[in-house]
Structure 1
Amino acid sequence: MLFGRAVRERPPVLLLLPALLVAAAMLLPPAYLAIRALEGGWEEAAEVLLDPETLAVLGRSALLAATVTAAATAVAVTVAWLTVRTDLPGRRAWAVLAALPLVIPSYVGGFVLVSALGPRGMLQGALEPLGVERLPEIYGFPGAALALTLFTYPYVLLTARSALRGVDPALEEASRSLGLGPWGTFFRVTLPQLRPGIAAGAILVALYSLSDFGVVSLLQYDTFSREIYIQYRSAFDRTPAAVLGLMLVALTAAVLTLEGRTRGRAAYHRSSAGSARPPATVHLGRWRWPALLFCASVVALALAAPVGVLLFWLVRGLAGGESLQPLWAAAANSVLAASLAAAVTALGALPVAALSARHPGPVAGMVERLAYLGYALPGIALALSLVFFGANYAPALYQTLAILVFAYAVHFMPQAVGATRSALLQIKPSVEEASRSLGRGRAATLATVTVPLAAPGILAGAALVFLTTLKELPATLLLSPTGFETLATRVWSATSDAFFARAAAPALLLIALSALPMYLLTIRERLR
């Protein structure tokens, strides 16, 4: 029972100490944010907390997150079912195309929406000769909800497709043999089996909606992220910004807690022996063309339209004399910051994942939970806490690349830990024990046996961190060194001033760079 001995073995100090340091680093931002929020006393914090405007911001944030999550889930589950279970024409192509909006940052989507449908947008210009002077208002809740739905539904789509492929078709066949029709079988048998997969994607959508800064700022919808940024930039006393940041952290933690308690303890695996087999294909019949129209509409709105609008503004900008020269420095800065963040995060995730996979126990569980704290830290709240900390206690690090990379590592550590831990769990401990029995120490075994075997998972986690770092906006805005412009901040500064032609080139380049790690991850999944 080599695996049993490996699990009960006490973790070595050289593994435990780095894991504890990573956990402490993850705890620093929320802890300091709480200290800064209470610096003015309980009375001032309570005054901000109970202010009617604060409560209104709380309601607007919750409403937006709930609406986007429900809409994204409805779109994603429909597309997933059509592309996995039916005879939809070109279903494999639609599955790929429907997932591609994941590489488009939401603030780029917001910029596209404003530039196409806003007061000075493409549609307004096209309709002016016809006497249309003003289009219906796109700003506020409707625009923010539409933009976030279009660019977050792939989170649910990917997990729902995976869950659909894993459903045992025998359950559906048994349901139909007992008299339930196709729709009854779907809602009473298939859909409950998809619950874990849908919930996994829906929680990501909810957290993304709560923490989003770019869309709500461009479309002028006051949620926590926008209010925090306004308070930080405009108010001399930044305690209200810290209190709002702490409230946002508490709201995201409440969402995570609610999701954990509603999971239930139902079993979703096969209860009997037998080989898995593909389910029967559902023939759409007269619904084939409406289904095809639905998939085409989703891809057109979430992928074709954004790329088309960006190309329009790019051509218009180049014709108007816009230079591409400043673009390359911003692209180099983006790649540099994302590469450093990916390397640092992958390195920090290794001891945490190894401790959790090889030495499970109370300490390992605590360290892993603290490592996942990054999911409960919206970018704006994380950046705000590090701004306060750097300005007061580490001025040498304030507005340097080091503190920016640290923020990225804290924010995206869960992605690297999850991928690395999954890879480590697939390595038999007996392989490592064989290495040690031949005279190699723990460090040598880790470097020459464990890490090479886990390299695909480690690289996958690093690629995810690289992808999300490229698109990160609020932390980059608040923490980047003076003059350190990235593609994300260049898009933001241009769109904030309504220079749509100037924003098009960095937005397209950002999408192209983001597509590369996603392509590599897709290739890896196909080769597994």
Structure 2
Amino acid sequence: MSAPAGVDPAPPDPAEALALARAGAASGQRAAHPRPPAVLLALGVLVVATSLVPLGFVLWSTAQMGPAEAWDLLTRPRFADLLWNTSRLLVGGVALSVVLGVGFAWLVARTDLRLSGLWHGVLCAPLAVPAFVNGYGWISATHAVQSSYWGAVLIVSLSYYPLVYLPTVAALGRLDASVEDVAASLGVGPVASFLRVVLPAISPAVLGGALLVGLHLLGEYGALQLLNYPTLTTGILDQYRVSFNGPAATLLALVLVVFCLALLGLEALARGRRRLSRVGAGVGRPAARHRLGRSAAAWTTVLAGFAVLTLGVPLTSLLRWLLRGSSSSLSDSGLGAAIGTTLGLAIAGGLLTTLAALPVAWLAVRHRGAFSTLLERGVYPANALPGIVVALALVTVSINVVPALYQTLPLLVIGYLILFLPRATVGVRSTLELAPPVLDDVATTLGCTRAGAARRVTLPLVLPGLAASVALVSLAVATELTATLLLAPTGTSTLATQFWARASAVEYGAAAPYALALIVLSVPATWLLGRVAVVHQQSHQQSHQQGRPA
């Protein structure tokens, strides 16, 4: 029943909304989505156009090279080495991150592991340790990881596997156990059931996390530079620093974009067009936890050993340098200023980037089509570009188009938005995928406008996911290095830039306080990410116990 003209309709009654949703699902009807609102479409286009500025800069700069010069660069043995190192690091790092993330998510969410909440926090904690700080800690402990492929794969995987673990453990907590019961009734064993039933059901979460890991590996600089493992990204920085050859460097960046497009194609092909939200008359049941039995002690030992690798090694190295390093000093007045600047930029970057990702993800999920898919895919190429390329693009555009933006904090925050928009988009989209669109349709039949239905029905469902997106981007902003070095106004320094200035000068003792402060500052966002996953799982289980549909 619609509301009288000029009167804001009351919120739809949940019971009536769910009854209508169940009726629609039972009859096999699905409401057709209207064309996207013009304002939403305009916002999405504006966001994507902004994120494509660095790619346009790369294409323009590369076009300044002649074909002969470009061919000469691409056929050099050095380029072949960089291409090989980047390719195998991408394969090894993503594969190991997926194995670690999915394996530990299953152990925490689907077994009777003791103190699973504590281990969940421990497994999330590496997000608070930046990859370059992790590399610094490992190099301080042993030089065996330097100039080593397996050392590079190990360190980047220990740094980035939580990007797979977090969405996977949340997806496992929301998964209805009925599909596993059906498989068991057909004689399918637990391993086969996981591979054939559970893994396909949680594949969007796994694929989204794997995509983020791959994009981060393409743009990783600090850790790989410390490890002396050359990739296309370190080669780009070498071109700028040694020969000041901008076109040659952007040609290498264009190769990274090709890698990014390949990752996006593989992820889209694996994801398919399946809808994963569920509204039905039945009541879902949380899965029974598998008993570890005699192997419980062994798995606890494995988790403890893994915690030593991810947290013990870098933290021990930092504390050792802090206490024993002759160059260490906590009286540096710049430490407090760097903490304040880092915190402010992290909050601003996290909020703005998540807000920018919302219209893009909404179009991709609620208004599926070729154009909305193209828009969503358009935010990812910039994430494959090193921060210095994004920064140079913004510097060039600001000087020639908007000179007032040059050397300002707003330009730095825009750089963060471009760099980390894919991270926010993946998080927002995965959250929207699990909010049934039929609830919006039912709300409109009860008198709500489309905008009102989105505000009153969908947004409350996705708020935890939005909070997780803000935390995830804020972590990335706090630890960003190369773009900050170039875009930050004169006299502005962050914990990451101060750490890098001292670590690159082999002043490990002086660098340690900044690294520890960066880790401490990242703890709240890491805790929030872990807490959101737990709340999702608990609220899902409560809905089962109260007889509400998943």
Same fold (TM over 0.5): yes
Whole-angstrom CA distance in 2 between matches of 1:89 and 1:404: 45
Whole-angstrom CA distance in 2 between matches of 1:305 and 1:113: 6
Summarize the Cα distance change of 1:341–1:278 in structure 2 as closer, same or farther, 3 Å threshold.
closer
- Cα displacement (A) at 1:322: 4.8
Which residue is equivalent to 2:257? Answer: 249
- Cα displacement (A) at 1:335: 2.1
Whole-angstrom CA distance in 2 between matches of 1:468 and 1:280: 36
Whole-angstrom CA distance in 2 between matches of 1:42 and 1:192: 45
Name the amino acid aligned to 1:50: T
Aligned pairs for 1:17-32 (under 5 A) are 17-32=42-57
Which shows bigger deviation, 354-363 or 148-157? Answer: 354-363
Which shows bigger deviation, 343-352 or 417-426? Answer: 417-426
| Aligned Cα root-mean-square deviation (Å) | 3.8
Which residue is equivalent to 1:54? Answer: 79
Which residue is equivalent to 2:241? Answer: 233
Give the TM-score normalised by structure 1: 0.82
Whole-angstrom CA distance in 1 between matches of 2:236 and 2:345: 24
Summarize the Cα distance change of 1:342–1:70 in structure 2 as closer, same or farther, 3 Å threshold.
closer
- Cα displacement (A) at 1:389: 4.0
Which residue is equivalent to 1:74? Answer: 99
Whole-angstrom CA distance in 2 between matches of 1:23 and 1:198: 24
Whole-angstrom CA distance in 2 between matches of 1:433 and 1:457: 27
**Is 2:274 the counterpart of 1:299?**
no
- Cα displacement (A) at 1:446: 11
Which shows bigger deviation, 484-493 or 272-281? Answer: 272-281
Name the amino acid aligned to 1:312: R
- Cα displacement (A) at 1:408: 0.7
1:341 and 1:465 in contact (8 A); partners too? yes
- For residue 109 of structure 1, the aligned residue among 134, 138, 145 is 134
- For residue 479 of structure 2, the aligned residue among 471, 483, 492 is 471
- Cα displacement (A) at 1:290: 1.7
Summarize the Cα distance change of 1:178–1:499 in structure 2 as closer, same or farther, 3 Å threshold.
same
What secondary structure, in the 3-state scheme, does the structure 2 residue paired with 1:281 have? coil
- Cα displacement (A) at 1:18: 4.0
- For residue 321 of structure 2, the aligned residue among 313, 325, 334 is 313
**Is 2:214 the counterpart of 1:206?**
yes
Which residue is equivalent to 2:495? Answer: 487
Larger RCO, structures 1/2 (Cα 8 Å, 6+ apart):
2
Whole-angstrom CA distance in 1 between matches of 2:64 and 2:237: 19
Which residue is equivalent to 1:503? Answer: 511
Name the amino acid aligned to 1:45: A
Q: Deviations over 1:80-132 (max 9, x none)?
A: 222222222222211221121112111110111111223xxxxxxxxxxxxxx
- Cα displacement (A) at 1:323: 2.5
- Cα displacement (A) at 1:496: 1.3
Q: Deviations over 1:250-287 (max 9, x none)?
A: 11211121222234567878899643223333222332
Unaligned stretches of 5+ in structure 2? Answer: 3-20, 22-29, 540-550
Q: Deviations over 1:294-345 (max 9, x none)?
A: 1111112112332232223223359954534221111122123223323443
2:96 and 2:157 in contact (8 A); partners too? yes
Q: Deviations over 1:131-154 (max 9, x none)?
A: xxxxx4634323221211111111
What secondary structure, in the 3-state scheme, does the structure 2 residue paired with 1:8 have? coil
- Cα displacement (A) at 1:486: 0.8
Summarize the Cα distance change of 1:318–1:465 in structure 2 as closer, same or farther, 3 Å threshold.
same
Which residue is equivalent to 1:127? Answer: none
Summarize the Cα distance change of 1:180–1:31 in structure 2 as closer, same or farther, 3 Å threshold.
same
Summarize the Cα distance change of 1:285–1:362 in structure 2 as closer, same or farther, 3 Å threshold.
closer
Whole-angstrom CA distance in 2 between matches of 1:435 and 1:420: 27
Which residue is equivalent to 1:11? Answer: 37
- Cα displacement (A) at 1:396: 5.1
Name the amino acid aligned to 1:85: R
Whole-angstrom CA distance in 1 between matches of 2:267 and 2:65: 34
- For residue 517 of structure 1, the aligned residue among 487, 510, 525 is 525
Summarize the Cα distance change of 1:45–1:387 in structure 2 as closer, same or farther, 3 Å threshold.
farther
Whole-angstrom CA distance in 2 between matches of 1:388 and 1:173: 59
Which residue is equivalent to 2:287? Answer: 279
Name the amino acid aligned to 1:101: P
Name the amino acid aligned to 1:8: P
Whole-angstrom CA distance in 2 between matches of 1:176 and 1:462: 39
Aligned pairs for 1:106-255 (under 5 A) are 106-118=131-143, 136=144, 138-255=146-263
Whole-angstrom CA distance in 1 between matches of 2:36 and 2:259: 37
Which shows bigger deviation, 226-235 or 398-407? Answer: 398-407
Whole-angstrom CA distance in 1 between matches of 2:109 and 2:36: 46
- Cα displacement (A) at 1:19: 3.6
Q: Deviations over 1:214-238 (max 9, x none)?
A: 1110011100111111111111332
Summarize the Cα distance change of 1:500–1:228 in structure 2 as closer, same or farther, 3 Å threshold.
same
Name the amino acid aligned to 1:516: P
Which residue is equivalent to 1:100? Answer: 125
Whole-angstrom CA distance in 1 between matches of 2:473 and 2:397: 24
Name the amino acid aligned to 2:504: S
Name the amino acid aligned to 1:254: A
